[in-house]
Structure 1
Amino acid sequence: MESAFTIVVPDTDVLSRLCGTNDCNLRLIEEHLGVPVFTRGNELSVSETDPDVHRRFKYIIDRIVDEVANGNEADDQMVYSILNVSPADSADSSLSARDMHDFFVRTSISVPGTVHRVYPKSKNQAELVNAMRSADMVFCLGPAGSGKTYIMVAEALNLLLSRKKSKIILTRPVVEAGESLGYLPGDLEQKISPYLRPLYDAMESFISKDVVRKFIEAGVIEIAPLAYMRGRTLSDAVVILDEAQNTTCRQMKMFLTRMGEGSKVFITGDITQIDLPKHTQSGLVHAVEILKNIDGIRIIQTEASDVVRNALVKKIIQAYEKYE
């Protein structure tokens, strides 16, 4: 191919896994580089003269080949983690691109008993994983879709299924967008179910609905409204508070003081989507301000660039940030 930059992958099995089902991984690489990737035999090529594209293309292919050769699955999680670290990223850093990718791999999360391994898709996500492993309490603030809850649930399952913790408790405020439970139809379970559904969705990304239900029936996993935490001591558990921007200061203090011996507590929220009544301070904003200098507590901030739900979501968030 004239003017093409070509990389040869000698092992056809490695090449096949690198490309992914129906070349899905190549499509991700093409979107990242902004140029088409061609395959011919054992060759991968880009028809591009820009040396920066050549360097990035070689880096990406070399890293994926290394991971596959080490027995790791070349799924979209792993590919995204590589795409988010390029040689240019480390130009002003003491870490090389390879060192940065190795950091991403070290901060990947395996879910024991399943095929799932979660690779951070950005530096902030990798920092979140690192924080959860090193601290007993972690706050993560950031926009919707930046992977906060997903990564926290993955780490919680890792700790539970590897028998490092005995229980997972997922909770969130149930009164949002000005609605009162008393005015909603149905019994209590029917009323709170829509508010807790996102937590079930996150859990079911890793384990089946049947397994989730069995764990809930056995009391190993608990998904409940924040109000149900009052008066309890939560020991030897991973406790996740989602949508924490919609807690009051009093609710947040109540929740944080439930932490018992041997527990890890993860708090996440988006302070741009506060649904509390006017003039009511968010407990998340308040807590981060007064606890930011306490040893053993880590505070991580994700950004629009970390959004992984859909490329369009990232653009929407950036547009709102610019407008506001």
Structure 2
Amino acid sequence: MTQTPTAQSPAQGQARAHFTVPAKHPMVTVLGSGDSLLRVIENAFPATDIHVRGNQISAIGDQREVALIQRLFDEMMLVLRTGQPMTEDAVERSIAMLRAAENGGEQAETPAEVLTQNILSNRGRTIRPKTLNQKRYVDAIDKHTIVFGIGPAGTGKTYLAMAKAVQALQSKQVTRIILTRPAVEAGERLGFLPGTLYEKIDPYLRPLYDALHDMLDPDSIPRLMAAGTIEVAPLAYMRGRSQPVFTNVLTPDGWRPIGDLQVGDLVVGSNGEPTPVLGVYPQGERDIYRVTAQDGSWTLCCGEHLWTVRTAADKRRNEPWRVLETQEMIGNLRAAHARRYELPLLTAPVCFPEREVPVDPYALGLLLGDGCITGSTTPSFLTEDPELAASLEAALPGIQARPKGGPDYVLKRIKEPGDVVTLENPVVHALRELDLLGCRSHTKFVPDAYLHNSAEVRLAVLQGLLDSDGGPVAQADRTCRIQYGTTSILLRDDVIALVQSLGGVAYARRRAAAGRKPGKAKGREVHHRRDTHVIDIRLPEGIEPFRLARKAEKYHTAGGGGRPMRFIDSIEPAGREETVCIQVAAEDSLYVTQDYLLTHNTLNDAFIILDEAQNTNPEQMKMFLTRLGFESKIVITGDVTQIDLPGGTKSGLRQVQDILEGVQDVHFSRLTSTDVVRHKLVGRIVDAYEQYDSRTGQSG
């Protein structure tokens, strides 16, 4: 488009511009049907004479006004060249943007840049920002992890956020979309409303559903929602990734019920290190499922509880671990005959605080394996390996492992010169202190002081147990596993706990005593009186299970440790229970629950939208923000002049502006009545209410 002088001169103080519309653009695209666009321009510049002849447009008037008209037609042509039509609203907004820039407003973007930015196209319809603030809002979503879109109704806050979410899903930037809004009109008491859950929440979520249908094939939406790719839920259910209040969670001091935890308490993360609890959110009574792994470990959780899992295909393609809800995996646990979902294990042994113990941990493991600690006789040790007897003697100060004949060694106290009275055997004293004195083979256990001690102590106990009653089992084309046997149910569970706390897995099975071939002792048959619990163990590479030379050599010759694996085996209903949700500060959001299973409560790889956020209270807002996971994005929208909270309740959206304003990677986009993209009257109504509130001193 060009501006050329004419022979006719404008009046003094006026300017004249002449525009030529290229022939390839019909004049109707520039002037509008029935000259509707031209009338918008004439109404906006009433003091300027605008004339059209053929494909020529001229304007005479104030120099600044004519210059604005010149820029307006330039911008309109830039838009038309993209194939996008101009509308009356687009012309009005272009004029407003140009006037704002002329009046000194900070505006780097031109109207053409704003109006031609495509976000999403579906069924021939393209979603774009329509105002400068909308474009800046959309750009902020691209650049920041958390964006607040604050402004009156009709400014496109939620609609544009939904478009960006669908765009992110389609481009595989995220793996799921989660849409939520508070249902305050029902006081969050959805249980008192008639109908099913979906019938109860539909009125509050209907705007989100409507937006989805504009942006996706309607037939695909039920499938995406059934697969958990798109989740729509009221805020009351957003935090519902919960476990029963009695479920054990590992802390540096041992196991504690999750319902007893408070903000600031420490739990154990996937790296074995303590991590603080950031939030505790009671969830009320919920349907519960029992999630069981193939090694027999299990825990309880609700259907929305989150699990980090990986499939064989994920591993083969070197793809990252995914996050799925419990209910998403039900009925999909097998791939052919193989278990589908692998669970993560500890990346390092659990770091319990070191505690003083009365007996060397390796010596205790040997005694629990092959020691006689009944208390009716002097403690003794049975072994065919003199190396173990020597190690036991070295680990017990003041004790001599005296051979009694054959494999028997009596643990005698070494008498010092000058002893005049009979002193208690140090081993007996220590065993009494640990409540182990009097235990027989089927009642032995590992004392808590050893189970919840440093990794070095726990490993030493396990090494003593395996050197005495365990051994390596070589398998072709596989890393070497370890086998341990005991008749004590307590010791079976303690050995499994030791293995799991070091990052390994253990599979227990029972070998019945009835029908088993009797053993031999001094030439006579010895019948089995109790069932034996056999434990198959796999430990991570780098953890040495044996000190006994012959077992260690065989273990390493057969391949040594490898990568233990744990898979989900079953998910079954387990009734209804009172539940609670916790949020932890660990980088991967994982914490250790029952049987050393790793689970978490944060949303990774998700685009999360909280709509109508002005109706959240401060606690709900904090809960929602702390659910942010890795590679996720949060957009929070709301209108602080339309708060429906009960009297005296502070809006979380209002408060969060004071708390997070200026925080890195958090952005506040503020839209005004000029950004309303509904009926023109809506913007005028918003302005009228704002003027009324300013006159009367009221606020929404």
Q: TM-score range by the shorter chain?
A: 0.7 to 0.9
- 1:140 to partner: Cα distance: 1.6
Q: Choose which of 101, 104, 112 in structure 1 pairs with 2:111.
A: 101
Local SS of the residue matching 2:650: coil
Local SS of the residue matching 1:267: strand
Q: Does 1:194 align with 2:207?
A: no
- Corresponding letter in the other structure for 2:614: Q
- 1:218 to partner: Cα distance: 3.3
- 1:281 to partner: Cα distance: 1.0
- 1:134 to partner: Cα distance: 0.8
Determine the structure 2 residue equivalent to 1:220: 229
Determine the structure 1 residue equivalent to 2:606: 237
Cα separation, 1, equivalents of 2:141 and 2:221: 23
- 1:118 to partner: Cα distance: 3.5
**Does the aligned pair in 2 maintain the 1:109–1:158 contact within 8 Å?**
no
Cα separation, 2, equivalents of 1:176 and 1:33: 46
- Structure 1 residues 93 and 280 mapped into 2: Cα distance closer, same or farther (>3 Å)? closer
- The two structures have a TM-score, normalised by structure 1, of 0.84
- 1:270 to partner: Cα distance: 0.6
Determine the structure 2 residue equivalent to 1:92: 104
Could you list the runs of 5+ residues in structure 1 that have no partner in the other structure?
A: none
Cα separation, 2, equivalents of 1:174 and 1:318: 27
- Corresponding letter in the other structure for 1:215: L
Q: Does 1:73 align with 2:84?
A: yes
In the TM superposition, what whole-angstrom CA distance separates every residue of 1:242-268 from its partner, at most 9, and x where no partner exists?
000111111111111111110000001
- Structure 1 residues 7 and 236 mapped into 2: Cα distance closer, same or farther (>3 Å)? same
Determine the structure 1 residue equivalent to 2:664: 295
Cα separation, 1, equivalents of 2:677 and 2:164: 18
Local SS of the residue matching 1:261: coil
Could you list the runs of 5+ residues in structure 2 that have no partner in the other structure?
A: 1-7, 11-15, 242-600, 694-700
- Structure 1 residues 191 and 40 mapped into 2: Cα distance closer, same or farther (>3 Å)? farther
**Does the aligned pair in 1 maintain the 2:79–2:112 contact within 8 Å?**
no
Normalized per residue, which structure has more helix?
A: 1
Local SS of the residue matching 1:176: helix
**Does the aligned pair in 1 maintain the 2:181–2:611 contact within 8 Å?**
yes
Local SS of the residue matching 2:178: strand
- Structure 1 residues 116 and 51 mapped into 2: Cα distance closer, same or farther (>3 Å)? farther
Q: Choose which of 691, 694, 697 in structure 2 pairs with 1:322.
A: 691
Cα separation, 2, equivalents of 1:176 and 1:31: 43
- 1:276-291 paired onto structure 2 within 5 Å: 276-291=645-660
Determine the structure 2 residue equivalent to 1:42: 55
**How many pairs does the alignment contain?**
318
Determine the structure 2 residue equivalent to 1:123: 132
Q: Choose which of 85, 94, 99 in structure 2 pairs with 1:82.
A: 94
Determine the structure 1 residue equivalent to 2:342: none
- 1:52 to partner: Cα distance: 4.8
- 1:45 to partner: Cα distance: 6.3
Normalized per residue, which structure has more strand?
A: 2
Q: Does 1:63 align with 2:432?
A: no
Local SS of the residue matching 2:137: helix
What is the percentage of aligned positions where both structures have the same residue? 40
Cα separation, 2, equivalents of 1:114 and 1:199: 19
- Structure 1 residues 114 and 23 mapped into 2: Cα distance closer, same or farther (>3 Å)? farther
- Structure 1 residues 196 and 37 mapped into 2: Cα distance closer, same or farther (>3 Å)? farther
Cα separation, 1, equivalents of 2:39 and 2:172: 38
- The two structures have a TM-score, normalised by structure 2, of 0.41
Q: Choose which of 206, 212, 229 in structure 2 pairs with 1:203.
A: 212
Determine the structure 2 residue equivalent to 1:270: 639
Determine which structure has more spread, i.e. the larger CA radius of gyration: 2
Cα separation, 2, equivalents of 1:185 and 1:307: 35
- 1:143 to partner: Cα distance: 0.8
Cα separation, 2, equivalents of 1:31 and 1:242: 37
- Corresponding letter in the other structure for 1:209: P
Q: Does 1:7 align with 2:19?
A: yes
- Corresponding letter in the other structure for 1:101: P
Cα separation, 1, equivalents of 2:653 and 2:136: 20
Local SS of the residue matching 2:179: strand
Determine the structure 2 residue equivalent to 1:305: 674
